[in-house]
């Protein structure tokens, strides 16, 4: 079972939205903290009300598409959980899969879209666009 599958299973076991918010906060606590050096302007995600940083690493295996791995962090507890959820969905995938995959469908399926403030929803969209932009850049000829 992948990390995202385990998160989905755990999330779907929780009926109460207070429990789901607590679970998001717990997810955020599982993020590896970013080094202070990674909390820079280049890694800052624009469009988020909270501060969010996203660090991207690109592996280019021979005769295979580029694979992107992400690390992220936020200064807000629930947002850290959302970062963890998004990174579990996208990190470690080939760039082509990242471009085609839509974590927002997962958010809708889990009911998150209806329970996030407009600011948090905009922040998630900004983070997803940044991840997809990095994936498109990884596919560009060198």
Measured CA to CA, the distance from residue 131 to residue 86 in angstroms comes to 9
Measured CA to CA, the distance from residue 51 to residue 49 in angstroms comes to 7
Measured CA to CA, the distance from residue 120 to residue 48 in angstroms comes to 7
Structure tokens at 71: 């690390």
Q: Rounded to whole angstroms, what are the CA distances from 103 to 3, 38, 86, 100?
A: 14, 24, 7, 10
Q: State the residue for tokens 């789901």.
A: 20
CB atoms within 10 A of CB 60: 11
Q: Which residues are catalytic?
A: 48
């Amino acid at each position: 079972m992948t990390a995202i599958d385990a998160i989905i299973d755990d999330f779907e076991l929780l009926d109460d939205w207070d429990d789901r918010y607590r679970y998001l906060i717990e997810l955020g606590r599982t993020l590896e903290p970013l080094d202070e050096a990674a909390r820079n302007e280049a890694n800052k995600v624009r469009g988020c009300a909270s501060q969010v940083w996203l660090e991207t690493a690109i592996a280019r295996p021979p005769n295979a598409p580029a694979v992107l791995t992400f690390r992220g962090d936020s200064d807000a507890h629930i947002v850290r959980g959302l970062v963890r959820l998004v990174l579990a969905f996208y990190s470690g995938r080939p760039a082509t899969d990242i471009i085609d995959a839509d974590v927002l469908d997962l958010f809708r399926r889990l009911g998150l879209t209806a329970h996030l403030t407009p600011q948090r929803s905009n922040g998630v969209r900004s983070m997803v666009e940044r991840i997809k932009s990095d994936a498109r850049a990884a596919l560009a000829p060198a």
